[in-house]
Amino acid sequence: MNMSSVSKVLAAMAAMATMMAPALPARASDPGDEVPAQIVLRLLPGHDIADIINPERMVVRATFPPRSLYVVQALPGYDDDMDALVDQLRSDGRVSGCEKHLFNGVTEGSTQSFFVRVPPPPDYTDQPAARKLGLPQVHEYTTGAGVTVAVLDTGLSPHSYLAGHTVPGYDWLTGGPDTSDLADGIDQDGDGAADEMAGHGTFVAGVIHTTAPGAMLMPIRVLDSDGLGTSFALAAGIYHAIDHGARVINISLSSPEESFAVSEAVAEAISRGVVVVAAVGNEARGRSTYPAATTGVIGVAAIDLADRLLPTSDHGDHVSVCAPGQGILSVLPGEEHATATGTSFAAAFVSGITAMTVSKHPQWSPAAVRSGLMAQAVNIDALNPGFELELGAGRITAWSLKTGRRALNGAGMAPPSSGPK
């Protein structure tokens, strides 16, 4: 199939993939909570959702036809036993997967004061975290050119720092190409603070650009301005990134609950050569969070500039590597500049280094990229007593990109073509 035909197929798939769900309900919601009365299901090929649900009891609220993925909602009077509805759908031979629809989101900060506005810096790569990772020197060898990084977040608003480094994306909350990362004045998650995460996606994109200035950024909006999203939106966003040429996917959000829809999307991404990077949570817990804990994902925890685990960062055996996440400098909508702290930004650094790795070694599989990054990480166990088995391979570094494969061979290993989580 030639590139013209591929473009036509992708355009047709985008037109078919419709998001019909309304705005998220205004209620106190946290990642891992259930979206009221909603179920996500995937159909086996050749079946029609209209033949499976009773229209008097359930209605379709969202669809992604290219992957036969649906969100259905139980109507009032039929939503008192959602477990029974899930079991009923799971027992249907035409359904390949089914679960309650879940929230996911960003767990950093609680108000807009989370972002500390600062004057524009002369050089973003001169910030301490960038210097610690060796970015200024590594940019002499690779910048991530030729690689597109999908940023699944609150969107991305234009900023002069990012000009010329973005490609079209998609908004999976409302449906459409406008991925503006703006406040709307509505407290969608019902926590008493509106728009506490407006600008989060733009900030994350700025960190990735600082790290890999030659890479292109694809904004995919899967979170609202309060930092809340759903498992369906995240899965659809991952599929969108796959279908539109991303080689790296940055997911700076998490949930304590695993979703089959998201895990299947991640598995497809990895099988098609896309590296998935995800932040762990920011609740100082030693528990698994998803999709960071999903097989094959590069799960990222946050450390300070002295290589100590941030007090707010989650940790555990699902962590692949750590990266600086304290006082990180980046951009916000409206030509603003700010600092912020959290695992979201540690993941963004890792996504940028991953993009440079893929650019330098495009033939490497996602498993090889992950193993290579872990092999060159700096062990920081001695600086973090009590967390020795919960920081993955340690602090990621970009230094090995100067020598590439030779650095790995010099350490006594070659990049594998596959490997376990």
Three-state SS annotation for the chain: CCHHHHHHHHHHHHHHCCCCCCCCCCCCCCCCCEEEEEEEEEECCCCCHHHCCCCCCEEEEEEEHHHCEEEEEECCCCCCCHHHHHHHHHCCCCEEEEEEEEEEECCCCCCHHHCEECCCCCCHHHCHHHHHHCHHHHCCCCCCCCCEEEEEECCCCCCHHHCCCECCCEECCCCCCCCCCCCCCCCCCCCCCCCCCCCHHHHHHHHHHHHCCCCEEEEEECECCCCEEEHHHHHHHHHHHHHCCCCEEEECCEECCCCHHHHHHHHHHHHCCCEEEEECCCCCCCCCCECCCCCCCEEEEEECCCCCECCCCCCCCCCCEEEECCCEEEEECCCEEEEECCHHHHHHHHHHHHHHHHHHCCCCCHHHHHHHHHHCCECCHHHCCCCCCCCCCCECCCHHHHCCHHHHHHCCCCCCCCCCC
Q: What is the percent of the chain where pLDDT is above 90?
A: 80
CB 248 within 8 A of CB 177: no
Q: What average pLDDT does the segment 254-268 reach?
A: 97
Instruction: Look at residue 242 in the predicted model and tell me its pLDDT.
Output: 98
Give catalytic status of residue 344 as yes or no. Answer: yes
CA separation, residue 379 to residues 41, 282, 307 (Å): 42, 22, 9
Query: Band of the pLDDT at 385, cuts 50, 70, 90?
Result: very high
Residue 110 has pLDDT above 90, yes or no: no
| Top mean-pLDDT range of 63-77, 172-186, 189-203 | 63-77
Question: 48 an active-site residue?
Answer: no
The CA distances from residue 167 to 148, 191, 246, 335, in Å, are 8, 34, 10, 19
Average pLDDT (298-302) is: 98
| Predicted local confidence at residue 6, as pLDDT | 32
User: Does residue 257 carry a pLDDT above 70?
Assistant: yes
CATH superfamily of 112-410: Peptidase S8/S53 domain (3.40.50.200)
Residues 6+ apart with CB under 8 A from 80: none
Q: Annotated catalytic residue: which of 231, 313, 344, 400? A: 344
Res 20: pLDDT: 41
Cβ neighbourhood burial of 306 (10 Å; 0-12, 13-18, 19+) = exposed
Mean pLDDT of all residues belonging to the chain: 88
Q: How far apart are CA 322 and CA 396, in angstroms?
A: 6
Tell me what pLDDT residue 113 has: 67
CB contact burial 12-21 (16+ within 10 A = b; e otherwise): ebbeebebeb
Q: What's the gap between Cα 333 and its chain centre?
A: 20
- Residue 323 pLDDT greater than 90, yes or no: yes
Q: Say what the pTM is.
A: 0.90
| Burial class (CB within 10 angstroms; exposed 0-12, middle 13-18, buried 19+) of 25 | middle
Residue 417 pLDDT > 80, yes or no?
no
139 catalytically annotated = no
Task: Answer yes or no: is pLDDT of 1 > 50.
Answer: no
Q: Is the pLDDT confidence value at 309 over 60?
A: yes
**Residue 421 above 50 pLDDT?**
no
C-alpha span between 67 and 219 (Å, rounded): 21
Whether pLDDT at 410 is above 80:
no
CB 292 within 8 Å of CB 129: no
Q: Which of 33, 153, 195, 314 is catalytic?
A: 153
Number of C-beta neighbours around residue 409 at 10 A = 12
- Residue ranges of the chain assigned to CATH 3.40.50.200: 112-410
Q: Is the pLDDT of residue 412 over 50?
A: no
Residue 310 has pLDDT above 90, yes or no: yes
Q: What is the pLDDT of residue 193?
A: 81
Q: Is 202 exposed, middle or buried (0-12, 13-18, 19+ CB in 10 A)?
A: buried
Going by pLDDT thresholds of 50, 70 and 90, the confidence category of residue 112 is low
Segment 68-96 mean pLDDT: 96
Largest CA distance in the chain: 66
| 339 close to 113: Cβ distance less than 8 angstroms | no
411: pLDDT strictly greater than 50: no
Digit-coded pLDDT (tens) for 34-54: 999 999 999 999 999 999 999
Q: Is a pLDDT exceeding 70 seen at residue 415? A: no
Region 58-72: mean pLDDT is 97
Candidate list 101, 200, 244, 315, residue with the active-site label: 200
302 contacts 322 by C-beta, under 8 angstroms? yes
pLDDT, tens only, 227-247: 999 999 999 999 999 999 999
